Amino acid sequence: MSTYYYELMEYMKAIKPISTHCHHRPDAMFANDFCLKTLLEESYSNWCGVEVGDTFESRKYYFDLIKNRNFFKCLEKALQLIYKIDTPLRADTYEIFDFAVRKAHREDPDFHMKLLTDIAGYDHVILDSYWQPGENGGHPELFSPTFRIDSFFFGFNPELKDHDGNNCGKFFGDRFGDFDTFFMSLKELIIDSHKRGAVAIKCATPYDRGLDFEFVTEKKARKVFEKREGSYDIADVKAFQDYIFLQTCQIAAELDIPFQVHTGLGRLSKTNAYLLQPVIEANPDTRFVLFHGGYPWMDDIFGLVHVYPKNVFPDIVWLPLISTEAAVRMLTELIEVANSQSICWGDDTWTSEESYGALMAVRHVLAMVLSNKIKDGYMLPADAFEAASNILRNNAQRIYRFE
């Protein structure tokens, strides 16, 4: 590591970051006997296909399988620093970490918020509470909502649910009776949420379907409502959902708020960011924030930011947690092809401990990439330091209007 790596790391400690995306859980979860098991279950370590369990054997099996996963490494590192524990987190040290987590949250119910404001030092965090779209979790001083639209994709049938188990009818009552009232309600709800502080709209539909949104006619989109009593088919559902996405692009443009779109991973099939190209082309006044580097198809993002520099904003949210190495690869190239005021970052976590891990991961990524750019003679030191504060703070401040 060059000295610039350490200088950048030191410099970034003084920057108050703005995270463009999180799912921070309600206060009640942290107040209610919050322990290491809950923390692990509410983290990406829970996405590794193995359960932590309650016995020494189950924990040993769990850590044996996930101990080298980046998701776990970031969380382990954060726990070691927050709770001042030197040992690695494994089955034989589980109780030490569990005791520390329980004690801190029991003694101070506000500890989870203090971790975000005092330890991580966040200035603003955009909250995607998909269990309560458009709300700020009771902490408007830190959280600004993004309005999550996924549950609307299933609004044509109150019995159906999105991948998080939600239907817009459950959240907003029986106001989606027919096609016209549905779209009137969608728009009203977004406008109302914006008035109450929502700074963006969010779509995470790749967990339910692909990003292959087509330019459907209103006539075609209506069918799923008209045939409700009969039998609508998959094509009718897709047309209705395509129409929602297109309408939301227009609403975002009218309100002049960014439209955050999850790209990559999810169900994997048809989640490539490139699939959004026709919609981006047709909506030059909509500011598309493309999440997660489109991982693993990061090249799609490079192409889109290159061709649409005015309305495509790459956000490496979550990427440093998925794979720090991938984030280094992505940012190394992204800096060369994206304008310096467009790249943002978000933590994308449910708990403060993992959020701090995500922040440390992105700082490491920035220090690695930018110190290399200085060493290679590509960037002036001053420009590299400026890029770090742009990506951690200034770009989000401008794009989401936090001034």
| Contact residues for Zn ion, defined by CB under 5 A | 348
* Residue 346 CB, nearest approach to Zn ion (Å): 8
HSE toward the beta carbon, residue 385, CA cutoff 13 A: 14
State which residue, 276 or 321, has the beta carbon closest to Zn ion.
321
> Of all residues in this chain, which one has the CB nearest to Zn ion in the complex?
348
What is the spatial distance between Cα 70 and Cα 206, in angstroms, rounded to a whole number?
Answer: 22
State which residue, 203 or 331, has the beta carbon closest to Zn ion.
203
* Residue 23 CB, nearest approach to Zn ion (Å): 6
Quote the DSSP letter at residue 200: E
* Residue 324 CB, nearest approach to Zn ion (Å): 18
* Residue 22 CB, nearest approach to Zn ion (Å): 7
- Element of type H or E holding 279: helix 277-282
The identity of residue 57, as a single letter, is E
State which residue, 67 or 69, has the beta carbon closest to Zn ion.
69
* Residue 296 CB, nearest approach to Zn ion (Å): 17
CB 209 within 8 A of CB 241: yes
Q: C-alpha 267: how far from its chain's center? A: 16
Selection from 375, 370, 319, 310 nearest residue 344 by Cα: 319
Selection from 55, 25, 53 nearest residue 37 by Cα: 53
State which residue, 135 or 348, has the beta carbon closest to Zn ion.
348
State which residue, 198 or 239, has the beta carbon closest to Zn ion.
198
Residues in the chain, overall count: 403
81 — phi, psi (to 5°)? Answer: -75, -45
Which token pair is 131? 């269990």
* Residue 139 CB, nearest approach to Zn ion (Å): 18
State which residue, 5 or 71, has the beta carbon closest to Zn ion.
71
Helix (H, G, I), strand (E, B) or coil at 25: coil
SS (H, E, C) 208-223: CCCCCCCCCCHHHHHH
* Cβ-Cβ contacts under 8 Å for 273 (sequence gap 6 or more): 211, 263, 264, 290, 294, 297, 300, 301, 304
* Residue 374 CB, nearest approach to Zn ion (Å): 32
Strand bridging mode 124-127 / 288-291 = unpaired
182 — phi, psi (to 5°)? Answer: -60, -55
What is the spatial distance between Cα 367 and Cα 130, in angstroms, rounded to a whole number?
Answer: 33
State which residue, 207 or 402, has the beta carbon closest to Zn ion.
207
State which residue, 112 or 238, has the beta carbon closest to Zn ion.
112
What is the spatial distance between Cα 221 and Cα 240, in angstroms, rounded to a whole number?
Answer: 4
Which token pair is 50? 């193995």
What is the spatial distance between Cα 249 and Cα 385, in angstroms, rounded to a whole number?
Answer: 34
* Residue 48 CB, nearest approach to Zn ion (Å): 17
* Residue 366 CB, nearest approach to Zn ion (Å): 20
State which residue, 148 or 287, has the beta carbon closest to Zn ion.
148
* Residue 348 CB, nearest approach to Zn ion (Å): 4
State which residue, 262 or 364, has the beta carbon closest to Zn ion.
262
